[in-house]
Amino acid sequence: MALYALGDTHLSLSAGKPMDVFGGAWENYMDKLARGLGVLTDDDTLVLCGDTSWAKSFPEARDDFAFLNAFPGRKLIVKGNHDYWWSTATKMRRFFAEEGFHTLDILHNNAWLHGDVALCGTRGWFYEEDNSHQGTHDEKVFLRECIRLKASLDAGRKLLGASAGDPGHPESGAGGGVGVGGADGNGVDGDGGMDGADGNGMDGDGGVGGAGGNGMDGDGDPDGELLAFLHYPPLYEGYRCDEIVDILTRYGVRRCFYGHLHGPSHQRAIEGAYRGIDYRLVSADYTEFRPFRIT
């Protein structure tokens, strides 16, 4: 019953954008991925940390998802900045079900259990999203990512027997849209979000609707560990997303896994302990296309 993470597989069996064109580590990357994913067994869980497929639609992504589904174990997909096929949770799960992709689901405004560990995550935020010429960022989209991360961590706390709500700010209250009712009984994904027309909005899969009151009136600390899976690195040489790091810290996250970085940017990745959290880069070309084993 192993737990793995892997980011940035950039599958392109139908989209016409194979990564082999970049050479180096990406040469024959599909063969490398097939060998790497060969470690999975039926009881394992693999979290895919974004940029899973270059496809722009479900039909175009079909072959990529069929490739992943052919390997045993559960795969949970985090949204990346190049996942243009991404849609609402309802539409994605319907597509997976209709195509028989029963090993696939999403990690987005929700959480999943793996033993006594709660798997939480969202895309996150990176300086590339900032309006560099203005020295600012899109506050609306940025705040949505913070809300999504909190919603996922709240869902994880509930799975582990603790009350929802920001433990660092007890007055924040529990998120009203985070309810129990995951796809197979292990996920917590509610049904109270806003469907963002631009693809950036909450998609009805555990959106937070702030119920008010005391968010810490339940069991207090979770009975287990919260793990965070992001696409964007919250830390990078010369960069830190303080808001994301602060949320992870307040919720007691001790391990965080991220992707997005490729090639020379690997040298600027920050790994190891920072403010009590262990950060790990799991981009496919960094892990040599082998899933990074967590447990």
Structure confidence at residue 162 (pLDDT):
83
Structure confidence at residue 11 (pLDDT):
95
Total domains, the chain: 1
Structure confidence at residue 130 (pLDDT):
52
| Sequential pLDDT tens for the chain (295 residues) | 999 999 999 998 887 766 665 667 889 999 999 999 999 999 999 999 999 999 999 999 999 999 999 999 999 999 999 999 999 999 999 999 999 999 999 999 999 999 999 999 999 986 555 554 444 557 788 899 999 999 999 999 999 988 777 776 544 443 333 333 333 334 444 433 333 333 333 344 433 333 333 333 345 677 899 999 999 999 988 888 999 999 999 999 999 999 999 888 898 899 999 989 999 999 999 999 999 999 9
| Domain boundaries, position 66 | 3-293
CATH number of residue 274's parent domain: 3.60.21.10
State how beta strands 3-6 and 45-48 pair: parallel
